[in-house]
């Protein structure tokens, strides 16, 4: 195929139930793209579900020889990507039509290196909770320290920048650490406050265990180089934003 504009990276582990909806939403975007599905050792029928896309231009199914985790799987996809931009999408989420077009336009107009969108919270059965999480038009490093307003499945980022800051520390919120590193160097991210991302509240997600998620968030600040006191301050702000986001869902 001709060089794609966007490389979509989709890690999956036992995603047979939801991945078709995710993949179909990628192919409804109407932009030049490739899709790299990184299977992190699925034992269900994920591969069989994806067999329907074999032979489709730009589609690649890549199975890890050993479990690498979400961070390692995304990094593997980024290394193999041919596009100028990377878009991340988890296998249990999906996009509205027009998402990538709007983000590419926004990145070109602003010159920023990363763009995220708002998201709608979806129950595990695919029904809407009626809750949406907004995103600011301009996201600063200081604001991002207080709460992570950048959801990984909403992100489009320049490929060279994604390679410059691979995701690390799978025992933490590895994507949050990466966004902090990106904004620390490049200053800002741009946001589109429309719920282009449909974010499924899966029972098995990292963030569903609140105590574990709290520890992981605290570790983000420690990995970012902050001492215990500052890390606690940032965590308190993060926790307050988390209560605001989810208490009414």
Q: CA-to-CA distance for 92 and 205, rounded, in angstroms?
A: 10
Query: Which of 16, 22, 155 has the alpha carbon at shortest distance from 78?
Result: 155
Map residue 231 onto helix, strand or coil: helix
Does residue 42 register a pLDDT over 50?
A: yes
Domains of the chain (ranges; CATH) run 6-246 (3.90.550.10)
Query: For a pLDDT cut of 70, what percent of the chain falls above it?
Result: 93
pLDDT tens for 203-220 read 655 455 667 777 878 777
111 near 126, Cβ under 8 Å? no
**Alpha-carbon distances of 140 from 146, 179, 191, rounded to whole Å:** 10, 10, 11
Does residue 248 register a pLDDT over 60?
A: no
Angle at 72 between CA 68 and CA 77, to 5 degrees: 115
Q: CA-to-CA distance for 149 and 143, rounded, in angstroms?
A: 9
Map residue 209 onto helix, strand or coil: coil
Does residue 172 register a pLDDT over 60?
A: yes
Average pLDDT over the chain reads 90
Looking at per-residue pLDDT, the higher value among 34 and 169 belongs to: 34
Q: Which of 66-70, 90-94, 166-170, 213-217 bottoms out in mean pLDDT, i.e. has the lowest? A: 213-217
Looking at per-residue pLDDT, the higher value among 227 and 223 belongs to: 227
pLDDT tens for 132-161 read 999 999 999 999 988 889 999 999 999 999
């Amino acid at each position: 195929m001709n060089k794609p504009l966007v490389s979509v990276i989709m890690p999956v582990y036992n995603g047979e139930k939801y991945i078709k909806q995710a993949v179909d939403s990628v192919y409804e975007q109407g932009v030049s793209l490739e899709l790299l599905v990184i299977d992190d050792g699925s034992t269900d029928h994920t591969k069989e579900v994806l067999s329907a896309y074999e032979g489709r231009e730009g589609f690649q199914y890549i199975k890890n020889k050993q479990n690498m985790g979400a961070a390692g799987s995304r990094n593997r996809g980024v290394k193999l990507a041919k596009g100028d931009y990377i878009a991340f999408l988890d296998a249990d989420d999906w996009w509205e039509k027009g998402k990538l077009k709007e983000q590419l336009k926004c990145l070109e107009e602003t010159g920023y290196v990363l763009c995220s969108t708002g998201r709608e919270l979806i129950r595990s059965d695919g029904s809407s909770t009626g809750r949406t999480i907004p995103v600011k038009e301009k996201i600063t490093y200081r604001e991002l320290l207080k709460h992570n307003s950048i959801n990984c499945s909403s992100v489009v980022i320049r490929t060279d920048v994604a390679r410059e800051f691979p995701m690390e520390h799978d025992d933490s919120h590895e994507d949050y650490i990466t966004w902090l590193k990106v904004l620390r160097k490049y200053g800002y991210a741009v946001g589109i406050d429309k719920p282009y991302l449909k974010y499924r509240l899966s029972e098995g997600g990292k963030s569903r265990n609140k105590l574990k998620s709290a520890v992981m968030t605290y570790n983000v600040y420690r990995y970012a180089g902050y001492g215990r006191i500052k890390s606690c301050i940032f965590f308190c702000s993060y926790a307050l934003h988390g209560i605001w986001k989810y208490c009414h869902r």
